[in-house]
Amino acid sequence: MSSAFMNTYHRLPVTFESGEGAILTDVNGNQYIDWTSGIAVNCLGHNYPPLVNAISAQAAKLLHTSNYFESDISNAFAEKLCAVSKMNKVFLCNSGAEANECAIKIARKYSFKKYGEGRHTIVTLLGGFHGRTITTLSATGQEKFHVNFGPWTQGFSFIPPQALPPSPLVSEERSIPANADALDAALDSKTAALMLEPIQGESGVIPLDGAFVKRAAELCAERDILLIFDEVQSGVGRTGKFFAHEHFGVRADIATLAKGLAGGIPIGAALANEKTADVLETGDHGSTFGGNPLAAAAGLVVLDKIGNDNFLSQINELGNQLMDGLQALDKKKILSVRGKGLMIACDIPLDAWDVLVKLISLAKTETEGLLLLSAGAKTLRFLPPYIISKEEIDRGLRLLDRVLK
């Protein structure tokens, strides 16, 4: 890695030059099956022709004018996003952390305008992850992210997870669905919103319990507490539905998106339902780059592709194939498999980072290597692009099986 960079990343030993579909090629010509999608970003794979064409055409016309002016392409994207998501209005920004910041501001202003001072707490889950700004880290219930960066933004509380049975395979990063009794107690007269990831991604792809989510939605509705779903990693079709929380049969007051929303171009979105759509007023919030024409053009391609049930059902089919394939591997090496759609993880009795490195090194001796992510010391995370083929899934499973053995 270049010495010009700050020491913020632990990088894997490979440098890429190009990509095609679900295949990446490094600077030495070695190829790899990509099961990372740039951490759920390149949802339509690499060099997807409609996306490349839309970005190229828009770059040749107009990149940026700022939000002081109208943009036909940005207007079209915002309208399409609201239609596909079935939400009322959207604020466009550049990242998941920014989208979550916007959601927090909406929640606090909603409660302040309706109930006055003192009702501002945002309740989240231990094990959750909501971004790396000071405020979104304040909302993140993982102590390892809090070392050395205080003081923190006030007004956040965390629901403790249920006790896990003792196991050497349970790392400190792993969590399970929160305790419903703790939730009931936490949603008090000082609470403005409850913010949840439907699937806790960075903690190890831990889906929340359906009964818990439904109870959370009921309590929020009864007490006029806003329900925010952080769908930065799990949204935009990743789990086989546009929003992962749709699997639970509940509706968000605010939902946040980023990662795959523009197929590789930076973007973020905070979507509001009819209850919260008009909370923010002129001057309350803004973003210099948010919703720029280039990101909007890319986002329209993604929405055109995933905005139909047939394509989403294909994501579910591919996800089932991958999960079934993982469960068929050596039971001593694949200890548990969980997830929805193409957002999957498994626990292993090995160092996850070491497995990632060995999968990459296969490209030097075999026809190709395999790219995976970790989500904890002993957890592998699978986020393939939606356009991956069944045959590429089978090839990747064979490479993984070889390394695990």
- pLDDT tens-place string over residues 47-96: 999 999 999 999 999 999 999 999 999 999 999 999 999 999 999 999 99
Give the strand order in the sheet containing 156-159.
Answer: 89-93, 268-272, 254-257, 226-230, 191-196, 121-125, 156-159
Q: Is the pLDDT of residue 2 over 70?
A: yes
> Which pLDDT score, from 0 to 100, does residue 305 have?
97
Domain membership of residue 172 (yes or no) is yes
Average pLDDT over residues 376-380: 95
Residue 214 has a pLDDT of 93
pLDDT category of residue 172 using cuts at 50, 70 and 90: very low
State whether 184 and 84 are in the same domain: yes
Per the structure block, which two tokens stand in for 61?
């016309």
End-to-end CA distance of the chain: 31
Q: How far is CA 394 from CA 81, 290, 330, 388, in A?
A: 34, 39, 15, 11
Residue 13 lies in a domain: no
Same-domain status, 250 and 315: no
Q: Are residues 301 and 314 in the same domain?
A: no
CA-based R_g, the chain, Å: 21
- Percent of the chain as helix, strand, coil, to the nearest 5: 35, 20, 45
- Is the previous residue joined to 151 through a cis bond, with omega within 30 degrees of 0? yes
- Read off the CATH number of the domain in which 125 is found: 3.40.640.10
Per-residue pLDDT band at 230 (split at 50, 70, 90): very high
> In a 3-state reduction of DSSP, which class is residue 373?
strand
Containing structural domain, residue 368? 309-349+358-390+399-405
Same domain, 367 and 240: no
- Rounded distance, CA 275 to CA 89, Å? 10
Tokens of 150: 């205080």
Asked if 341 and 386 sit in the same domain, the reply is: yes
Are residues 245 and 272 part of one domain? yes
Q: What is the pLDDT of residues 85-137, one digit of tens each?
A: 999 999 999 999 999 999 999 999 999 999 999 999 999 998 899 999 999 99
Are residue 91 and residue 184 in the same domain, yes or no?
A: yes
Contacts of 401 (CB under 8 A, 6+ apart): 329, 330
Beta bridge partners of 90: 271
Tell me which residue of 376, 338, 341, 342 sits closest to 356, measured CA to CA. Answer: 376
**Domain-located, residue 8:** no
- At residue 144, the pLDDT reads 87
The per-residue pLDDT for 146 is 86
pLDDT at position 197 is 96
Tokens of 127: 């094990």
74 and 206 housed in the same domain: yes
Whether 94 is covered by a domain: the verdict is yes
Query: pLDDT (tens digit, 9 = 90+) per residue, 313-370?
Result: 999 999 999 999 999 999 999 999 999 999 999 999 999 999 999 999 999 998 999 9
Q: Is residue 43 part of a domain?
A: no
The answer to whether residues 83 and 118 belong to one domain is: yes
Amino acid at 243: F
Q: Which residue intervals of 10-118 are DSSP H helices? A: 37-40, 49-61, 72-85, 96-115
302: in domain? yes
How many other C-beta atoms can be found within 10 angstroms of the C-beta atom of residue 291?
Answer: 23
pLDDT over 70 (residue 170): no
Q: Is the pLDDT of residue 174 over 50?
A: no
Task: Say whether both 371 and 250 belong to one domain.
Answer: no
Q: How confident is the prediction for the chain on average, in pLDDT?
A: 93
Is a pLDDT exceeding 50 seen at residue 173?
A: no
The vertex-316 CA angle with 25 and 44, nearest 5°, equals 35
Query: Does the structure show a pLDDT above 60 at 171?
Result: no
Q: Residue 160: is its pLDDT beyond 90?
A: no
> What CATH number has the domain bearing residue 344?
3.90.1150.10
Strand, coil or helix: 132? coil
| Number of compact structural domains in the chain | 2
Q: Where are the beta strands (DSSP E) in 217-267?
A: 226-230, 254-257
d(CA 66, CA 84): 25
Domain limit, last residue, from 275, 290, 306: 306
Domain end residue (candidates: 273, 306, 339): 306
Pair 270, 333 in one domain? no
In angstroms, the Cα distances linking 277 to 163, 194, 244, 281 are 38, 17, 21, 10
Map residue 192 onto helix, strand or coil: strand
Res 145: pLDDT: 85
Highest mean pLDDT among 39-43, 142-146, 171-175: 39-43
Amino acid at 154: Q
Higher per-residue confidence, 240 vs 145: 240
Check: CB of residue 252 under 8 Å from CB of residue 227: yes
How confident is the model at residue 299, as a pLDDT? 98
* pLDDT exceeds cutoff 80 at 276: yes
Chain Cα centroid distance, residue 323: 19
Q: Residue 163: is its pLDDT beyond 80?
A: no
- What's the predicted TM-score (pTM) here? 0.94
Closest CA to 347 of 319, 375, 391, 380: 380
